[in-house]
Amino acid sequence: MSQETAPSPTADRASGHATGAMREAVVELVDVHKSFGQLEVLKGISMTSHVGDVTAIIGASGSGKSTLLRCINMLEIPSSGTVRVHGEEIGLRRNGHGESEIADRRQIQRIRTRLGMVFQSFNLWQHMTLRDNVIEVPIHVLGRKRDEAIRDADALLERVGLFEKRDTFPAYLSGGQQQRAAIARALAINPDVMLFDEPTSALDPELVGEVLTVIRDLASEGRTMILVTHEMSFAREVANRVIFLHQGLVEEEGEPNAIFNHPKSERLQRFIGSIR
């Protein structure tokens, strides 16, 4: 199993971070609320992710991290608020029962092809080989030519160290391998931003490293990423911004150094204390 050597992303990225204000916003959330029935999970979240940003979202279980991430690609539809991707607002409207819904299916389908989601439970399509998983969206959604898609897929599988496994079905792979394949699948659409929802939480401890290596590699090439994670040391290492969620609100946000070494709010201090 070939694996990439770990680059030193912090050094590479340092230069890119300084000019945050000048860079284009890729994902913008403005006052996003989300309720499940009576339960209000997001209580007005605003955040912006710029080109090249690696944003880590941290917080206790149930604080709404996954829900927030899923509001970006509308797997959960915000009850109110605005989501913009590359400046384009995702149209929402109210249906007869006063629930919000997607206004234009076409628009969201188009925008989703710019967002590469990686799930906690991989969610590879089990009836397809790894390579078929990776070429599926380029061919059948983006309408790319098959031979081109295969060429790119093989390069991506090589990159995540799974070229030899390209004709294998997901069920015969370890969790770490499946997650790396899922990352290759997300990369195959060449997304503007990668969305990771706890990509290593479902893995045995000894398999976490191989997946983090791949993500670190993506960070070092300047990919825009939003990453929900429980791996605090990893968040500190690859992220240039950290958002701490508490009970559906952004309690504190800032640079990793500020968040982890000089937490201002008491809740963040307690959260970081509980992790250590």
Partner 1 sequence: MTRTEPLETEPGLAELARPATRGRSWWQPHRIVLLVVSVALVMLAAATMRWDWLVEYWPQILIGVWRSVWLLVLSIVLGFLMAVPLGLAQVAGPRILALPARGFCTLIRGTPLLLQLWLLYFGVGSLFPTIPAIRQSFLWDYLRQAWPYALFTLTISFAGYEGEVMRGAFAGVPHGELEAGRAYGMSPFKLLRRIWLPRAFFRALPTLGGEIIMQLKSTPLAATITVVDVYGVIAQVRQDTYLVYAPLLFLAGIYMALTGILVLLVRVVESRVPIRGV
The residue ranges that bind Mg ion (CB under 5 A) are 66
Q: Which residue has the tokens 């995540």?
A: 160
Q: Considering the rule CB under 6 A, would residue 199 count as an interface residue with ligand ATP?
A: no
**DSSP H or E stretch at residue 43:** strand 39-50
Residue 59 lies near ligand ATP (rule: CB under 6 A): yes
Task: Tally the residues of the chain.
Answer: 276
Q: Supply the DSSP symbol for 172.
A: G
Helices 205-220/9-17 angle, 10° precision: 40
Among 13, 34, 65, 112, binds partner 1 (CB under 8 A): 112
Measured from the CB atom, is 62 or 91 closer to ligand ATP? Answer: 62
SS3 112: helix
- Rounded Cα distance between 44 and 64, Å, is 11
Distance CA 185, CA 199 (A): 14
Q: What character string, x for contact with partner 1 (CB under 8 A) and - otherwise, covers 237-256?
A: --------------------
CB of residue 202 to partner 1, shortest distance in Å: 7
Integer Cα distance of 146 and 129 in angstroms: 15
Q: Which of 13, 32, 58, 67 binds ligand ATP (CB under 6 A)?
A: 67
- Exactly one of 175, 209, 222, 254 binds partner 1 (CB under 8 A); which one? 175
Closer of 127 and 145 to partner 1 (Cβ): 127
By CB under 6 A, tell whether 73 contacts ligand ATP: no
Residue 115 as a binder of partner 1 (CB under 8 A): the answer is yes
Q: Count other C-beta atoms under 10 Å from residue 55's C-beta.
A: 23
Q: Given the rule CB under 8 A, which residues bind partner 1?
A: 1, 73, 75, 105, 108-113, 115, 117, 119, 121-127, 129, 136-137, 140-141, 168-169, 171-176, 178, 189, 202-204, 207
